[in-house]
Structure 1
Amino acid sequence: MMEIANVSFPEVFILLGFSERPSLEPILFIFVLGIYVVTVLGNGVIIVVSCMDVHLHTPMYFFLVNLSFLDISFTTSIVPQLLVNLWGPQKTISYGGCVIQFYISHWLGATECVLLAVMSYDRYAAICRPLHYTVIMHPKLCCSLAFASWLGGLTTSMVGSTLTMLLPLCGNNRIDHFFCEMPLIMQLACVDTSFNEVEMYVASFIFVVLPLGLILVSYSRIAWAVLTIRSAEGWRKAFNTCSSHVAVVALFYGSIIFMYLQPAKRNSHEEGKLVALFYTVVTPMLNPLIYTLRNKTVKKALRHIVLENCGFGGTHIF
């Protein structure tokens, strides 16, 4: 039984990553490390500012804190192992480490899809139902929606990842990617994976297609409401309210759609790695930059906190 288990489930996986282009690896190491530091600091700032400034204790920033914490967790589940593999000749990850990685990345990826849909509903309520906004988006509902996002992502990860983990691999342990992704583990299986594929497609529909549909419906209603606004000031407020979230949604779903709808060419898998690098490493860094650079409220709160901590709390410099 022990010999069968060893053959079915390898002790380590080999993450080929970008090993076909070794000259690119040192550049990628510096690039990824720099982006990771900015990601952690940027999202950390969003969390700290949103918690410390009472003016940001609103549903929008409550969900933004969840998104920032999710981004830090998601990129941390992938980047440290990627940096280790880029730095040295060894490209391995333990079986347990691989399992943990695709459990967590699957969980957080599904959670982000739902959370972005929840945030779009919040923007819909703010623009289309402004007089009832505080009644609709009351704290209990906000906490319930955030909890449902995290629980839904965890549930689909537990089901899909567990089914994948039970597949015998018969010694196959070479993954042509830079992290352990569930579909790639399924490709290594030496048994029929039809049931796993059906489960994956159903989960993708529920946690990717449906949230995207809800986002599109919310923003179609928002666009209709904005068209009825007569004043330029109203247009500006609506744009400021939604532009950051639209940019984040476009980055997240745009990279996913590009990755999974690209033609099956020989070089498409290498392109897929670069796109995966974008949405796993670059996108979590861009989210806080989008919300801070395009949001006057966050910039004002950040400036106020910095001045207070520097001893200028009672001085109106600006």
Structure 2
Amino acid sequence: MKIERLPLNALRAFSEAARAGSFKTAAERLSVTPGAVSRQIKQLEERLGVALFERHANGVHVTDAGHLLAEDVDAGLARIANGVQAVHERAHAATTLTLSAPPSFTQFWLLPRLADFEAQESHVEISLDADQDLSDPIWHGDGARLALRYGRGPWPGVHSERLLEDSLFPVCSPALLERSPIDTPVDLLAHPLLEVVWQSRQNVDFPGWRDWFDAAGLPGKTLPIQQRYSLYGLALDQAIAGRGIMLANPAVVADRLASGVLVRPFGDRHVIDSPFTYDLILPATGQAPPAIQRFIDWLLDEAARFQGEID
């Protein structure tokens, strides 16, 4: 018999009835009436030209022909079920994305936004590696290893997508500003200055307070820099605690400014451009797997939205 002519519903009813030895029990398992099971099996017997059950007043019994058919039908239905399960598991198998990114950017910009993507793509398992070192990006199967980098391109041997431009401006706690108002750049000299000291992998120094004061028209001043840090997060904690003023960039402090734990004493004034940018680093060749491409598109959209908000 050709597969397109197989009476699959009748075969399922027969299989359950043969296994249970009862039309009533088979009907309960299939969520149909006993009459429906009886009719389907009767139609199957007429199509095959052989009795599959002996019917008695107190129930039914499977015939020899019925036993032979039941073995083959059960094996066939089990194989179909296994195939359906395998396809389902493959469709819902986790896609693994390993993402290397600078620690402060990961903590203050990426993590607060990542939950939105994970809610949309729950089958994508994202492993975050908070590291400044550039690891080689690769596609692997349905997954990938990618990198976010803060520095000064171009990045050799890879394809990069610009996420965010960068700038720097002073921030401090509202409590510090209340204790001692800051109206002009020279007023900062009366406060402890917190500085992030970091050199990019391209041997380009991170802009600091000296660059900011030069841009503000105060070159050559002795700066009251009390503490230096290699990570934004360390300086940020001190600034929030009111222990000084730091130069910060939008990606790191936007959420803190929005919550009010930090303020910009000069508002939109006295901002210096940074030569650094945030870039997404991708393999130079090959094509992103579908789920990874959706992550890339999501990240670029989030970055564009954020850049539009701060411009």
Same structural fold, with TM-score higher than 0.5 when normalized by the shorter chain: no
TM interval, shorter chain, is: under 0.3
Normalised to the residue count of structure 2, the TM-score between the two structures is 0.21
Larger proportion of strand: 2
Q: Please tell me whether Structure 1 or Structure 2 has the larger radius of gyration of its CA atoms.
A: 2
Select the structure with the greater relative contact order (CA < 8 A; seq sep ≥ 6). 1
